Amino acid sequence: MKIGLFALQRGKAVSAFPSSLPHWIAMPRASKDWSQAPLVLCALSIPLLSVASLFVGVSDVSFSTLFGSDGRALQVLLISRIPRTIALVLAGAGMAVAGTIMQMLARNRFVEPSTAGTVESATLGILTVMLFAPGLPVIAKAAVAATFAMAGTSLFLAIIRRIPLRSILLVPLVGIMLGGVINAVSTFFAYRFDMLQSLGAWTSGDFSGVLRGRYELLWISFALTVVAYMAARRFTVAGMGDDFTTNIGLNYRRIVALGLAIVSMVTAVVVVTVGMIPFLGLIIPNVVSMMLGDNLKRSLPWVATLGAGFVLACDIVGRLILYPYEVPIGTVVGVVGSVFFLYLLLRKNARVA
């Protein structure tokens, strides 16, 4: 005999809701005693990485040269190194959070902005602005890129909802194919109007050109990250599906629309400012989920923190590996991300879907 949302079983009230999360969300977790220890260590390393980022580079910036007679080292620190470090933190945190939201909305662990056509759509939007209104201010370019990114992401979600039997590999495959089609369109028009070199600048993540006055747009991604945290519980519920979300009195479509807006705007701002950073939204959310589970109210601050630290570390590696030359951070993150992507695909106890 059922009473409301509960059922009587041998004289006890038992909840009608499942006691565990859906199988696509279930992830192996470490015990509570030590699961957060690696995350805490990574968080504590971020100040050290930030300080190292200030003093690593071709220009000689050190404590002994900061207050020299010519003041050149101090200018480099204020104009280039500090803005670059701040940009790394903001971009890393924003893209990691965007990847987490994407995985919740698509209900698949292999989805993130660079595997769902979001980045390619933003790039197409930037190319459209360069062709028809090259004189627009940066904020307007970001708005157009965000509009294209939202349209591309909405198309991706609409396609996967119409696939009757979704496997863990089919969803990201659809996203990669969609991104490939959009990228082919962008490349065709860029080639047609002799803008391939300009297009390449947007598709390769690089922080070497970040200077004071050229990164402030990334503060928008920080504000959107805060909004995402405020709506974290709703995104967690949306990850349970349309029916579950509606049954507990929430508007599933509004939650999805909010998530799409956050993902699209963060992606557009990052692409406009520093270019594409692939796989960042894939690596960090999966690592945090393995340790803390999928309650975004609990895990989202760690996702943002580890995203910032990971980007800082990759940028420092890119500056040192071929010193005095720099390897773009998009290349470094792409190598690490592709290896991690293969690990997720091939590990024997994978339980994502």
Share of the chain above pLDDT 70, in %: 86
Q: Where are the domains of the chain?
A: 38-54+66-346
Q: pLDDT value at position 346?
A: 77
DSSP 115-175: GTTHHHHHHHHHHHHHHH-TTS-HHHHHHHHHHHHHHHHHHHHHHHHT-SS--TTHHHHHH
What stretch of H or E contains 7? Answer: strand 6-9
Confidence band (pLDDT; 50, 70, 90) for 352? very low
Question: What is the C-alpha separation between 118 and 267, in angstroms, rounded?
Answer: 7
In the chain, the percentage of residues whose pLDDT exceeds 90 is 14
> Following CA atoms 137, 138, 142, 145 in sequence, which dihedral angle do they give, to the nearest 10 degrees?
70
The CA-atom distances, in angstroms, between 192 and each of 70, 185, 186, 188 are 48, 11, 10, 6
pLDDT confidence of residue 27? 44
pLDDT-derived band of residue 34, with 50, 70 and 90 as boundaries? low
- How far, in Å, CA of 73 to CA of 67, rounded? 8
Position 92 scores a pLDDT of: 92
Q: Does 101 have pLDDT greater than 70? A: yes
- Model pLDDT, residue 322: 85
Q: What local confidence, expressed as pLDDT, does residue 181 receive?
A: 92
The arithmetic mean of pLDDT across residues 265-272, rounded, is 89
Confidence of residue 31 (pLDDT cuts 50, 70, 90): very low
Choose from 273-282, 307-316, 342-351 the range with maximum mean pLDDT: 307-316
From 140, 145, 91, 154, select the one nearest 120 (Cα to Cα): 145
Q: What is the mean pLDDT of the chain?
A: 80
Phi, psi for residue 12 in degrees, rounded to 5: -120, 145
State the pLDDT at residue 74. 83
Q: 38-54+66-346: what fold? A: ABC transporter involved in vitamin B12 uptake, BtuC (1.10.3470)
pLDDT band at 111 (very low <50, low <70, confident <90, very high): confident
| pTM for this predicted structure | 0.81
Q: Which residues partner with 12 through β-bridges?
A: 9
What does 28-46 look like in DSSP terms, one character per residue? ----TTTTTHHHHHHHHHH
Burial 72-90 (b: 16+ CB within 10 A, else e): ebeebbeebbebbbbbbbb
HSE at residue 287, side-chain half, CA atoms within 13 A, is: 23
Residue 344 host element (H or E): helix 329-346
> Using CA atoms, how far apart are residues 92 and 163, in angstroms rounded to an integer?
32
pLDDT in tens, 37-82: 777 777 788 888 888 888 887 777 777 777 766 678 788 888 888 9
How far is 74 from 64, CA to CA, in rounded Å?
11
Asked if the peptide bond before residue 164 counts as cis, ω within 30 degrees of 0, the response is no
Give the pLDDT confidence of 148-198 residue by residue, as tens digits: 999 998 899 888 888 776 667 788 888 889 989 999 999 999 888 888 887
pLDDT beyond 70 at 16: no
Give kind and range of the element (H or E) at residue 227: helix 219-230
- Compare 261 and 1 and report the one with higher pLDDT: 261
Residue environment code for 31-55, b if the CB has 16+ CB neighbours within 10 A, otherwise e: eeeeeeeebeebbeebeebbebbbb
* Of 43, 22, 42, 39, nearest in space to 30 by CA: 39
Over the stretch 197-246, which tens digit does the pLDDT of each residue have? Answer: 878 777 778 888 888 888 888 999 999 999 999 988 888 888 888 888 88
